[in-house]
Amino acid sequence: MSGKAVVMLCATSFFVGLLLSGRMALLTPPSSEPSGHGSRIPLFADDCGQSRRLEEGKPNDIMKEVSRTHQAIQSLDKSVSSLEMELAVERAKQNGGLGVSAPSRGVLPKAFVVIGINTAFSSKKRRDSLRDTWVPRGDKLRRLEKDKGVVVRFVIGHSATPGGALDRAVDVEASATGDFLRLADHVEGYHELSAKTRAYFATAVSTWDAEFYVKVDDDVHVNLGMLAARLAKYRARPRVYVGCMKSGPVLSQKGVKYYEPEYWKFGDEGNKYFRHATGQIYAVSRDLASYISINQPILHRFANEDVSLGAWLLGLEVEHVDDRSLCCATPPDCEWKKQAGNVCAASFDWSCSGICKSVDRMRAIHSACGEGDGAVWSAAAI
């Protein structure tokens, strides 16, 4: 048995033993002896009251104990998963490493979530539309990181001609805004999105020690407070992959959008992809981001970035969370949901794989569907 299995078996046996000890007392006749063989030694200081509640055989009390046991095992599983990933990182370092040699976690800034906004050299107007709506600027951006642990960055690599006009323009913009994450070894290109995703997670993991890492496109509207609150629900679980899960057709016809050259790997023509998160926005927990970072050179890239990520995680012990709050439609859909008290975490148009004409519409969508500027600051869960 693996070390993890042994730990889980021991923990489960321990908690089950506690439950059974209370139930077995029902079968043991009470003893009038104050001590000796007929007495029962309490396991904990409050064992008398706890045992009395269980001995009464109330279903609610027993179910509460089962629930607490389940939560303890779940927390232990996450701790073991985190330790295993740290061990894998250290082994990778000692063996020369398959991926990025990540610095020790102890020297990295702590964060709750790192939100990487995928952007391109030609998308300055899109970036400005986000800065005018849901991406904080200047001191607010820094305070959001310090006070709430929410890091927001525009993610971009380099041009095919390093040091050229495109790179210089981004350098000037970055020095003025301070909201970029540059990918040192990535060359920008539409057909390189899967490689960019790998590079983003590897760079983010080596820069911040966060509980979650999010990738979002620069034509999507996001409510930061709601996104953080949704992710906070899963912080106790190990190996979590959160997004709007889908399973679209594998397109084998050349020339069509989203054509998959390796369609034959997915079975007969006409088959669908395995379930994976749509590419507009998704999140992975720390251990999964670390896994991608360590193994990035041997993670296969398919034509579509969201399919690639789903493939990397498909064979692992991963919890797929289908969170429909991350894929609301633009007004009136997200506006109606806001009025009903169900503020969306993210909104976009499926027909455009993002918000259609996002530069022109982002402000109106933010006004109609935004959670309010104070929401992320008042979120108690993060």
Q: Which residues contact 227 (CB under 8 A, 6 or more apart)?
A: 113, 115, 214, 326, 345, 346
Residue 70 belongs to some domain of the structure: no
Instruction: Average the pLDDT over 259-280 and give the result.
Output: 93
Q: What is the pLDDT of residue 216?
A: 98
Q: How many domains does the chain have?
A: 1
- pLDDT range class, residue 378, cuts 50, 70, 90: confident
Specify if 63 maps to a domain.
Answer: no
User: pLDDT at residue 380 above 60?
Assistant: no
Tell which wins on pLDDT, 309 or 10.
Answer: 309
**Residue 194 resides in a domain:** yes
Distance CA 194, CA 191 (A): 8
**Domain assignment of residue 146, yes or no:** yes
Mean pLDDT of 236-245: 95
Q: Does 291 reside within a domain?
A: yes
The one-character DSSP state at 103 is P
| pLDDT at residue 34, rounded to an integer | 44
Segment 177-201 mean pLDDT: 93
pLDDT of residue 311: 96
pLDDT in tens, 130-162: 999 999 999 999 999 999 999 999 999 999 988
43-52, 100-109, 248-257, 330-339: segment of lowest average pLDDT = 43-52
pLDDT bin (cut points 50, 70, 90) of residue 240 is very high
> So what's the pLDDT on residue 67?
65
Whether residue 163 is predicted with pLDDT greater than 80 in this model: the reply is yes
Pairwise CA distance, residues 70 & 170, whole Å: 49
Q: pLDDT at residue 305 above 60?
A: yes
Contact 116, 213 (CB under 8 A): yes
pLDDT at 13 over 90: no
Instruction: Report the pLDDT value the prediction gives residue 37, as an integer from 0 to 100.
Output: 43
How many helices (H) and strands (E) in the chain? Answer: 13, 9
Domain-located, residue 84? no
- Give me the chain's average pLDDT, please: 83
Token pair 């370092």 is found at 93
198 occurs within a structural domain:
yes
Q: How confident is the model at residue 214 (pLDDT cuts 50, 70, 90)?
A: very high
pLDDT of residue 183: 96
The whole domain housing 337 covers: 110-245+277-378
* Average pLDDT of the residues in 287-295: 96
pLDDT reported for residue 168 = 96
For residue 259, the model assigns a pLDDT of 92
Q: Which residue has the higher pLDDT, 37 or 237?
A: 237
Residue 382 has a pLDDT of 61
Residue 334 is predicted with a pLDDT of: 98
Predicted confidence band at 26 (pLDDT cuts at 50, 70, 90)?
very low
**pLDDT confidence band for 255 (50 / 70 / 90):** confident
For residue 221, give the DSSP letter: E
Average pLDDT on 362-379 reads 92
- Per the rule left: phi > 0, alpha: psi between -120 and 50, beta: everything else, 372 is left
DSSP state of 169: H
Q: Using omega within 30 degrees of 0 as the cis cutoff, is the peptide bond preceding 332 cis?
A: yes
Radius of gyration of the chain (CA): 25
Asked if the structure places residue 205 within a domain, the reply is: yes
Q: Which CATH number belongs to the domain containing residue 177 in this structure?
A: 3.90.550.10
Share of the chain above pLDDT 90, in %: 64
Q: Report the range of poorest mean pLDDT among 22-31, 170-179, 187-196.
A: 22-31
